[in-house]
Amino acid sequence: MWKSCLNLCAVVLASSWTVFAQGNVDKQARHVPTKEEIEANKRMYETLRTPTFIRLRLVFLNPNTDETSDLAPPYKSTDRIAIRLILNHFFNGPITFVKYANQHRNLQLELLRDGDVVPYSKEAQQSVDRALTEPPNESSATMQFDAEKDYVLQRINLSDWFKTLLPGHYQLTVRQRFVWDGGWVQSDSITFDVGLDES
């Protein structure tokens, strides 16, 4: 099965990497990848199936000022909690992969409240389930990342994943994969507290 996935993703990559490609353009102004480009895309795909060279970390994001911090502010249940997912890698050259508009496609969150797993909202769970069982079929963009630099990979709004958070102590961990049948990279964990709303 993975070979068919590989072929599918190689086609997706080949058709998406027009920014970096040097191939031909057809009459409809669509890029036609060269054999060398297709082979390079396949090699990158295989590399990203075992992404041990990628590191992920989480920082808190102030949705009003766009400032980030390693320390969580004091949250209330009605607050918008936003996180940035930062990518850094040490591969021996740039890495390139397709990022999909559906944030549930290659991303998973684990949120613990006082040690207990917080389930996804019904809508988020359905989207995650579809992403795990159905091949990609949504808008996408090609991303390229140089080695040993920090990049913002994703903004994560917890309200897109979970119902209103009850007061308690929370721990969040994120996992990301970079190709359809690839391994997952797990971020560090961050903790924060949600207090009672003042009435």
Q: Tell me: the pLDDT tens digits for 153-162?
A: 999 999 999 9
Residue 151 CA to residue 51 CA, distance in Å, equals 16
Give the per-residue pLDDT at 136: 77
Question: Which amino acid belongs to residue 82?
Answer: A
Encode pLDDT of 10-65 as tens digits.
Answer: 434 433 443 444 456 666 667 677 888 889 889 999 999 999 999 999 999 998 88
Single pTM value for the model = 0.81
Work out the number of other CB atoms within 10 angstroms of the CB of residue 95: 19
AA identity, residue 122 = K
Which fold, 53-195?
Immunoglobulin-like (2.60.40)
Asked if pLDDT for residue 199 goes beyond 60, the answer is no
Instruction: Give which of 143, 164, 154, 161 is closest to 187, Cα–Cα.
Output: 154
Report the DSSP beta bridge partners of residue 157. Answer: 82
Q: Where residue 165 falls among pLDDT bands split at 50, 70, 90?
A: very high
So where are the chain's domains? 53-195
Split at pLDDT 50, 70, 90, the class of 87 is very high
